[in-house]
Amino acid sequence: MPESVTITDNRSGDSVEIPIVDGGVDAGAWKKLLGNVWFADVGFTQTAATQSAITELDGDAGILRYRGYPIEQLAEKSTYLEVAYLLIYGELPTPEQYEAWKHEITYHTFIHENVRKRFMEGFHYDAHPMGMLVSAVAALSTFYPESKNITDEQVRDKQIVRLIAKMPTLAAGCHRFSVGMPFVYPDNALDFSSNFLSMMWKIAEPHYRPDPVLSRALDVLFILHADHEQNCGTTAMRIAGSSHTDPYSATAAATAALYGPRHGGANEAVIKMLTEIGSIDNVDAYVASVKEGKGRLQGFGHRVYKNFDPRATIIKTIAHDVFEVTGKNPLLDIALKLEEVALADDYFISRKLYP
């Protein structure tokens, strides 16, 4: 017998039985019975805006899967471009499909010169790189007016390739502008992540060749952050896209959401907090001040994960490989001490505030 719920309007005695399908119920039946009664769910914590088979997230169990594949498996065995293909098309690519996909992405990494010269270089010298990126992504729609033809599958696929290929170029360009360094063109002899590192850190080398450990670490980070169900950025993009705007404008909306301190900007807040703490010797006092309500412990607690974040476990592992190449950052010692103190304190454990 199918599972269902029954809703009764105690004012009239009328009832409606609603079948539970894929863990959800149809709001249309609620509307028929209670047309003038609204379901208040400000944070969308219990509201499904669509049906999707892309990502499965179980916050209580600390599980994240893309198209049924555990995130741990993909981080160990796949590349970011393979995972991007998986998320978009539903299956991992065959070797032939993967080579064609890599070629398409690699040869769309360049941006129009006017994006750089007439637009990006017009920002104030101290502009935040994320603010620049939001604007630069939106500006691409003016260079590809055919992208507004969103009903054409071939046109849509072309914009998907362009967005994946050009986003590292734009992001690296925005960063280098913000620190007063010249723009670096893509090097199509490099793989996706190595190319991004080249555009970020190249100084005067004829050919920048990043350490393979660093390239792989970045690739894994891209995999871990490729999708996360309908989070803030995805919601912003879907809402903008529902108006049938072009993909660049919709992506700019998602990027704007990512800029916020309660979404992607949370990472920046962690760095600021660690810098403010300054030393391992100050950790205990800082934690005590947080417990007194005088501040927040950035990077602890997650809106969805109430056990542990599986991505954090993977990042911690690859971080050790990275620091063997780069040496340890002093802020890492502070972060590890914070983790040690918080995980030994019932104040944080009882509130399920895990790193």
pLDDT digits (tens, 9 = 90+) for 162-180: 999 999 999 999 999 999 9
Q: How far apart are CA 29 and CA 16, in angstroms?
A: 7
pLDDT at residue number 2: 80
CB 116 within 8 A of CB 170: no
Inter-residue contact 157 to 89 (CB < 8 Å):
no
Strand intervals (E) in 67-223? 69-70
Is 98:81 a contact under the CB 8 Å cutoff? yes
- What pTM value is reported for the model? 0.88
Considering the domain architecture, whether residues 250 and 272 belong to the same structural domain is answered as no
In a domain, 125, yes or no: yes
Q: Is residue 204 part of a domain?
A: yes
CATH number at residue 177: 1.10.580.10
86 & 224 share domain:
yes
Task: Tell me which residue of 124, 299, 315 sits closest to 219, measured CA to CA.
Answer: 315
Reply yes or no on whether the pLDDT at 265 is more than 80: no
* One domain, residues 125 and 15: no
Confidence of residue 304 (pLDDT cuts 50, 70, 90): low
Q: What is the pLDDT of residue 127?
A: 95
| Of 61 and 188, more confident | 188
Chain centre distance of CA 67: 17
Query: Is 279 a residue whose pLDDT tops 60?
Result: yes
pLDDT category at 224 given cuts 50, 70, 90 is: very high
Rg (CA), the chain: 23
In which band, very low, low, confident or very high, does the pLDDT at 50 lie, cut at 50, 70 and 90? confident
Mean pLDDT of the chain: 91
Structure tokens given for 282 = 């100050």
User: 10 and 43 share a domain?
Assistant: yes
- How many other CB atoms are there within 10 angstroms of residue 319's CB atom? 16
- Are 208 and 328 found together in one domain? no
Tokens read off for 330: 């002093």
Mapped onto helix, strand or coil, the DSSP state of residue 92 is coil
Query: Binning pLDDT at 50, 70 and 90, where does residue 350 land?
Result: confident
pLDDT over 80 (residue 161): yes
Domain-embedded: residue 232:
yes
Q: Is residue 355 part of a domain?
A: no
- Give yes or no: residues 25 and 80 share one domain: no
- Which one of 227, 259, 291 terminates a domain? 259
CA atoms within 13 A on the CB side of 177: 24
Q: Are residues 76 and 178 in the same domain?
A: yes
Q: Which domain holds residue 325?
A: 265-349
Is a pLDDT exceeding 80 seen at residue 1? no
Q: Are residues 118 and 249 in the same domain?
A: yes
Same domain, 241 and 107: yes
Question: What is the C-alpha separation between 163 and 276, in angstroms, rounded?
Answer: 36
- Whether 81 and 220 map to the same domain: the answer is yes
Decide if 354 is inside a domain. Answer: no
Q: Are residue 180 and residue 296 in the same domain, yes or no?
A: no
- The predicted model gives 312-322 an average pLDDT of 90
Task: State how far the Cα of 93 lies from the Cα of 69, in Å rounded to an integer.
Answer: 14
Is the pLDDT reported for residue 307 higher than 70?
no
The average pLDDT across 121-140 equals: 95
Tell me, what CATH number does 295's domain have? 1.10.230.10
Whole-angstrom Cα distance, residue 229 to residue 261? 19
pLDDT at site 178: 94
DSSP symbol at 115: I
pLDDT higher than threshold 60 for residue 305: no
Same domain, 118 and 136: yes
Per-residue pLDDT for 98 more than 70? yes
What are the residues whose beta carbons fall under 8 Å from the beta carbon of 219, sequence distance 6 or more? 79, 80, 192, 193
pLDDT of residue 336: 86
How many distinct structural domains can be found in the chain?
Answer: 3
Tell whether 315 is covered by a domain: yes
Q: How many Cβ atoms sit within 10 Å of the Cβ of residue 188?
A: 14
Residue at which a domain ends, from 259, 286, 311: 259
H-run or E-run covering 63 = strand 63-66
* Average of per-residue pLDDT across 257-271: 83
